[in-house]
Structure 1
Amino acid sequence: MRLLDMTTFAVLVRNRHFGRTAEEMNTTQPAVSSRLAAMEAELGCRLIHRAGSEFRLTPEGEQVLVAFQGVLRSMDLLKASLKNPQHEANVVVRIGAIDSVIATWMPDMVESLHLRMPNLKVELTVESTKRLIYGMNKGEFDLIFAVDPAIGDGFRSFVSCVWQMIWAASPKIVDPDRIHSVDELANMPIITFPKNTPPYRQIAPYFQDEQVLASKLTSSNSLFAIIKMCMDGLGVAAIPSVVIERELGSGLLNPMQVAKRFPPLPIIATYQSSTEQEIILRVVSQAQESARKFCGRVNPSTAWLA
């Protein structure tokens, strides 16, 4: 397989148009079609489904695209390193994460990246899941950690870890020995994330009726603000237990016994697979290692790998 063919395929997938691809590659449309046909013949499978105006990759095409991008990126990095041994110094990795990740294993990840790739520049942003996904789709991030994945061509996602969620509140307002039913929880003041956010989507089904939250709900887009309001006795909240270990240990918050456990919360990583691929994959690998180390240090019932 020629590098020219791999490049043509990658450009064709990006443009989704044979004419524009031919123009960008400084060739003709029949030449682009011929290269695609040759690749499909060599690989023994269809790579692109075309029907009228529809243009989409087949499952085999998705696999081939990832492989081709890896080869092309490796060649680009090789050329760059031959010209400039300090290529990493010119690369900025933009990482976005929700606050529960920032509060747990993200510091280890950033420190380890600086030790292993000292010339790499890391830009870290703390945002909500909705804002992180929006930024990922706009090209503002290379890697994000959120409650939902970003979906699109060139994105790859995986579950980095899972948080156990518990109901917690100030000892001023709850009895830690009492087992609370769902109906009893529904009659308490509840603190959670704003409506139409991914964390809120977990709260409403728990009660089976979103209306029970209408009159007693206080919302904030900050996990740390929610924790502070809980400590002040303003209500109860479903919180990742691993994030509030210190508050639970000091008695500032009490875990609530409940008849129905709150479902665990997966933390999903999404990364760009088409830009600076070798470096991004090294960053992703470090993220997985830092999450693994963190989950190995804490109570296994509070955080674990998928």
Structure 2
Amino acid sequence: MNLRFLETFVWVARLKSFRLTAEKLFSTQASISSRIAALEDELGTRLFLRDSKGVSLTPEGQKVLEYAERMLDTLQALKQSISDTGSVRGRIRVGAMDTVIHTWLSPLVTKIMERYPAVEIELTADTARNLSEQLQKGYLDIIFQTDMVHDSSVRNLEMASFPVRWIVPTGSLYHRSYAAMDELARERIITFSKNSRPHQDILNLLHAGNVSAPRISCVNSIAAMTRLIRDGFGVGALPPALVSDELKQGLLTILDDVPEPPPLPVVATWRTGVGLELSEDIIALAGEVLQDYAEQMGGAMMAMAVPSGEQKSA
């Protein structure tokens, strides 16, 4: 039996699309269809149902998938036992939200390149919502964003969190004491893109403070957000880690007398299954990089997540 055809079958079953499988395997839809047809002829059964909604496994196809994944797992284990990481080839597609890109993504990419010099790294920057959609459609292998993705083909791990604080230009009109949340909300608030996790957290915080109609400017660029805050456009609600240089230089200041917004979590989500073992290794590397970054920056800038087995009940 042709193992390449089995691999193709597994990817079609996983992505539920001949087109996406062709892109993943650097092939054409015609070639993918030909491999599946050859496998169906050899097994003497139909593996997929095709209709206007897409591709789904037949009952026989579901049985074949279980065996195919075991066979490919065994082959992958054999390859790993006789090779080193320097000989691993392929492509890993990583998506990250702006906060990750502006903080610890570069050290992670450097570590991946050192460990897997023959692996091509494809990076995508986008909002958490868009990254989740691209992962579920098969366009990305790993994403770092704010929310758990509920899909049977992926795994989630909350890795760390960024404290979020109110940040203003030093010496500006905003650099003063605020008696309550509603007083701060009279100023223009600058935060992340609309409907993002931090935007929703800010709305909830203001609602709890009986603020019904806040002035919030949602910005989808960290650089633009930082510039607007520095230029006195309003009060920023963002992680201090993103403006650590400006804070050290005294250009920006953290307000300490108002309730802090909830922290911004960093969740790693990755596709699982045969042929995706590299993703697990990269998640482990990301944990090492985050630990180093947290120690370097300090708890005021980043906090590591407590492993689920060590979490305490309230």
Considering the TM-score relative to the shorter chain, is it more than 0.5? yes
Q: Secondary structure at the match of 2:88?
A: helix
Q: Secondary structure at the match of 2:194?
A: coil
Number of the residue aligned with 1:294: 293
Aligned 8 A contact 2:168 2:234 in 1: yes
Aligned 8 A contact 2:168 2:175 in 1: no
Aligned 8 A contact 2:191 2:199 in 1: yes
Number of the residue aligned with 1:227: 226
How far is the alpha carbon of 1:189 from its aligned partner? 0.8
Number of the residue aligned with 1:160: 159
How far is the alpha carbon of 1:211 from its aligned partner? 3.8
1:76–1:239: structure 2 CA closer, same or farther, 3 Å change rule?
Answer: same
Number of the residue aligned with 2:133: 134
Quick one: distance in 2 between partners of 1:251 and 1:72?
60
Letter in 2 for 1:268: V
**219-228 or 76-85: bigger deviation:** 76-85
Aligned 8 A contact 1:73 1:278 in 2: no
Number of the residue aligned with 1:253: 252
1:180–1:164: structure 2 CA closer, same or farther, 3 Å change rule?
Answer: farther
Number of the residue aligned with 2:197: 198
Q: Secondary structure at the match of 2:43?
A: coil
Quick one: distance in 2 between partners of 1:286 and 1:113?
7
How far is the alpha carbon of 1:80 from its aligned partner? 5.8
Number of the residue aligned with 1:88: 88
Q: Secondary structure at the match of 2:155?
A: strand
1:72–1:127: structure 2 CA closer, same or farther, 3 Å change rule?
Answer: farther
Aligned 8 A contact 1:189 1:217 in 2: yes
Number of the residue aligned with 1:212: 213
1:163–1:157: structure 2 CA closer, same or farther, 3 Å change rule?
Answer: same
Aligned 8 A contact 1:95 1:122 in 2: yes
1:1-306 equivalence runs, <5 A: 26=43, 72-78=71-77, 88-89=88-89, 91-171=90-170, 172-176=172-176, 178-208=177-207, 211-213=212-214, 216-306=215-305
5+ residue gaps, structure 1, are: 1-6, 30-64
Quick one: distance in 1 between partners of 2:155 and 2:271?
7
State the TM-score, normalizing by the size of structure 2: 0.71
1:113–1:14: structure 2 CA closer, same or farther, 3 Å change rule?
Answer: closer
Quick one: distance in 1 between partners of 2:81 and 2:288?
29
**271-280 or 128-137: bigger deviation:** 271-280
Number of the residue aligned with 2:49: none
Quick one: distance in 1 between partners of 2:277 and 2:184?
49
How far is the alpha carbon of 1:210 from its aligned partner? 7.0
State the TM-score, normalizing by the size of structure 1: 0.73
1:217–1:262: structure 2 CA closer, same or farther, 3 Å change rule?
Answer: closer
Number of the residue aligned with 1:37: none
1:139–1:160: structure 2 CA closer, same or farther, 3 Å change rule?
Answer: same
Quick one: distance in 1 between partners of 2:298 and 2:124?
28
Q: Secondary structure at the match of 1:188?
A: coil
Q: Secondary structure at the match of 1:258?
A: coil
1:304–1:72: structure 2 CA closer, same or farther, 3 Å change rule?
Answer: farther
Number of the residue aligned with 1:32: none
Letter in 2 for 1:243: L
Aligned 8 A contact 1:81 1:87 in 2: no
How far is the alpha carbon of 1:237 from its aligned partner? 1.5
Quick one: distance in 2 between partners of 1:74 and 1:295?
35
Q: Encode CA deviations 1:108-163: one digit per residue, 9 max, x unaligned.
A: 11111111111111111111111111111111110000111322121000012111
Quick one: distance in 2 between partners of 1:298 and 1:241?
10
Q: Encode CA deviations 1:12-66: one digit per residue, 9 max, x unaligned.
A: x8599xxx9x96992669xxxxxxxxxxxxxxxxxxxxxxxxxxxxxxxxxxx99
5+ residue gaps, structure 2, are: 1-6, 17-35, 47-64, 306-314
Quick one: distance in 2 between partners of 1:168 and 1:297?
21
Aligned 8 A contact 2:112 2:285 in 1: yes
